[in-house]
């Protein structure tokens, strides 16, 4: 083979080798685009920069306040369900059409005049702060929507705890879209695209520990394979950042008291911003000087928990005026009669007064009748015995004194003798 032939052969080998190298080097980054990461994340490498991290620097994740844990336990038995009734998803709203109807079930809406907002439903429009509702009519919320600018808008609604955290169970949240007058393409994410709803920090409280909460719609399932993280959420609080890969709220300390800022960015599997126009949000930490919300306490009483859950605790404990007037039933096997406290002693007190007209008329002047009865020569006939009906009514109806009062009573006596004594009864009345 000539020198020219050997040179051409070597050139072909070098060209082939370069093609193989280029193919290998270009294939690895191509497989990392989008939601999945087919390279280092499949191996679960501990040095991967996209692994979730705990809050660092001045930030520290802590447990929720004690009152929050109590309310979480009390609400754990509920499974809230939300449903959009009208208008339907995708409706083009016309002028004057601003009433939204949501159906809510198995969620105790409440608001106490002293303790504040209890369990409720929150509504978010685009990236605005949530609107909160604690009253329903027959299980339905009728909401007057605020003025909407012409164009497309996205809505999200969710069952919320008293401190504003969204319930993450299936059916407890929903999202839809309305167009005001007409839709505008490109102003909202596609219906099936992931997008972020930033829930907290909210207006309900800004003291430490600070609640951080969010919802991610249409997010691909995480960790279908080990290390297969399809998205990350980067959270920055006053400049300190960390990564999370789950939809669970956080309580952190170190954000400082007073005004601050929180930023949330939705990233793909290699850390690139995902639709940053819709999924990169910044919100100020509200500064609210004054008393802390009741759910920031270390412990709540049973009464406070009941009032925040809509239970009428005080009315169940306190008897009504009608109940207070009812007699209290006794456990005594031989209950006393209801009239026992009302002992009437008038007959005993008035007994001597009632006996005076029966005895005294006989004592005053019994002699004329007795003398006339003993004198056979008198022209007048002996008086007949008075019939029973001639006896004075007071003598007939007078009750006999109780036995205990008869003992000290002196028996009626008379100084008459002979047949005159026979005209008197043993109690002093005339026969």
pLDDT tens digits for range 342-369: 444 444 444 444 444 444 444 445 444 5
Return the top range by mean pLDDT from 181-190, 290-299, 384-393.
181-190
> Average pLDDT for residues 197-203, to the nearest whole number?
84
Q: What CATH code is carried by the domain that includes residue 283? A: 2.60.40.1220
What are the CA-CA distances from residue 265 to residues 24, 189, 246, 275, 386 (Å)? 32, 15, 14, 10, 120
Q: Which residue has the higher pLDDT, 168 or 224?
A: 168
What does residue 373 show for φ and ψ, rounded to 5 degrees?
Answer: -75, -30
Alpha carbons 402 and 405: distance in angstroms, whole number: 5
| 403 is a domain residue | no
Percentage, residues of the chain above pLDDT 70: 59
- pLDDT of 397: 46
CB atoms within 10 A of CB 7: 11
What are the CA-CA distances from residue 236 to residues 105, 174, 212, 244 (Å)? 35, 26, 11, 11
Characterize 237-247 residue by residue with b for buried, 16 or more Cβ atoms within 10 angstroms of its Cβ, and e for exposed.
bbeeebbbbee
Closest to 79 measured CA to CA, from 106, 97, 61, 50: 106
Return the top range by mean pLDDT from 67-81, 282-296, 351-365.
67-81
- pLDDT of 381: 46
Query: What do you get for the CA distance between the two ends of the chain, in Å?
Result: 177
- pLDDT of 190: 87
Q: How confident is the model at residue 4 (pLDDT cuts 50, 70, 90)?
A: low
Q: How confident is the model at residue 258 (pLDDT cuts 50, 70, 90)?
A: low
Alpha carbons 260 and 280: distance in angstroms, whole number: 17
Characterize 58-87 residue by residue with b for buried, 16 or more Cβ atoms within 10 angstroms of its Cβ, and e for exposed.
ebeeeebbebbebbeebbeebebbbebeeb
Rounded mean pLDDT of the chain?
Answer: 74
Above 50 in pLDDT, residue 82?
Answer: yes
What are the CA-CA distances from residue 356 to residues 246, 362, 363, 364 (Å)? 103, 10, 10, 12
Q: What is the DSSP letter of 388?
A: G
Above 70 in pLDDT, residue 34?
Answer: no
- pLDDT of 112: 93
| 152 is a domain residue | yes
Both tokens assigned to 294: 């009741």
Please say whether the beta carbons of 254 and 211 come within 8 A: no
Alpha carbons 158 and 38: distance in angstroms, whole number: 35
- pLDDT of 312: 59
Characterize 356-371 residue by residue with b for buried, 16 or more Cβ atoms within 10 angstroms of its Cβ, and e for exposed.
eebeeebeeebeeebe
Above 50 in pLDDT, residue 127?
Answer: yes
Return the top range by mean pLDDT from 186-195, 204-213, 373-382.
186-195
| 402 is a domain residue | no
| 327 is a domain residue | no
Please compute, for residue 281, the number of CA atoms within 13 A of its CA located in the half-sphere on the CB side: 23
Residue found by looking up tokens 């679960």 in the block: 44
Angle, CA 11 vertex, CA 6 and CA 15 arms, to 5°: 155
Comparing 115-119, 224-228, 401-405, the range with the smallest average pLDDT is 401-405
Alpha carbons 400 and 411: distance in angstroms, whole number: 14
Domains held by the chain: number: 1
- pLDDT of 87: 95
Q: How confident is the model at residue 390 (pLDDT cuts 50, 70, 90)?
A: very low
- pLDDT of 219: 80
103: β partners: 83, 140
Comparing 156-160, 228-232, 255-259, 423-427, the range with the smallest average pLDDT is 423-427
Alpha carbons 399 and 157: distance in angstroms, whole number: 84
| 191 is a domain residue | yes
Q: Which residue has the higher pLDDT, 369 or 259?
A: 259
Q: Which residue has the higher pLDDT, 313 or 127?
A: 127
| 180 is a domain residue | yes
Q: How confident is the model at residue 206 (pLDDT cuts 50, 70, 90)?
A: low
- pLDDT of 111: 93
- pLDDT of 324: 45
Instruction: Write the CB contacts of 388 (distance below 8 Å, at least 6 apart in sequence).
Output: 396
Domain that holds residue 198: 54-308
């Amino acid at each position: 083979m000539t020198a020219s032939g050997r040179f051409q052969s070597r050139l072909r080998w070098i060209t082939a080798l370069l093609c193989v190298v280029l193919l290998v080097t270009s294939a690895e980054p191509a497989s990392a685009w989008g939601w999945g990461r087919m390279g280092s994340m499949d191996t679960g490498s501990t040095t991967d920069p996209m692994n979730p991290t705990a809050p660092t620097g001045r930030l520290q994740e802590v447990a929720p306040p004690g009152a929050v844990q109590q309310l979480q336990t009390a609400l754990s038995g509920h499974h809230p369900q939300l449903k959009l009734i009208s208008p339907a998803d995708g409706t083009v709203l016309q002028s004057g059409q601003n009433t939204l109807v949501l159906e809510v079930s198995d969620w105790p809406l409440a608001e106490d005049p002293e303790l504040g907002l209890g369990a409720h439903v929150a509504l978010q429009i685009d990236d605005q702060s949530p609107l909160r509702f604690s009253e329903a009519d027959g299980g339905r919320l009728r909401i007057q929507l605020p003025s909407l600018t012409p164009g497309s808008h996205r809505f999200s609604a969710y069952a919320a705890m008293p401190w504003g955290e969204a319930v993450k169970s299936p059916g407890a949240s929903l999202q839809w879209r309305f167009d005001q007058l007409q839709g505008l393409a490109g102003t909202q994410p596609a219906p099936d695209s992931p997008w972020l709803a930033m829930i907290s920090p909210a207006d309900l409280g800004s003291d430490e520990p600070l609640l951080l909460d969010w919802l991610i719609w249409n997010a691909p399932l995480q960790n279908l394979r080990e290390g297969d993280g399809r998205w990350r959420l980067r959270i920055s609080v006053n400049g300190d950042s960390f990564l999370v890969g789950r939809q669970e709220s956080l309580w952190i300390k170190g954000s400082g008291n007073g005004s601050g800022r929180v930023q949330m960015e939705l990233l793909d599997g290699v850390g690139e911003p995902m639709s940053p126009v819709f999924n990169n949000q910044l919100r100020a930490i509200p500064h609210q000087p004054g008393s802390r919300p009741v759910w920031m306490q270390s412990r709540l009483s049973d009464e406070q928990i009941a009032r925040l859950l809509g239970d009428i605790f005080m009315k169940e404990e306190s008897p009504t005026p009608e109940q207070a007037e009812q007699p209290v039933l006794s456990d005594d096997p031989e209950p006393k009669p209801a009239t026992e406290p009302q002992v009437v002693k008038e007959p005993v007190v008035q007994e001597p007064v009632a006996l005076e007209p029966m005895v005294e008329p006989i004592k005053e002047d019994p002699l004329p009748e007795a003398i006339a009865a003993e004198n056979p020569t008198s022209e007048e006939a002996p008086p007949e015995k008075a019939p029973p009906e001639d006896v004075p009514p007071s003598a007939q109806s007078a009750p006999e004194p109780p036995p205990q009062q008869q003992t000290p009573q002196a028996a009626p006596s008379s100084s008459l003798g002979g047949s005159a004594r026979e005209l008197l009864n043993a109690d002093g009345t005339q026969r």
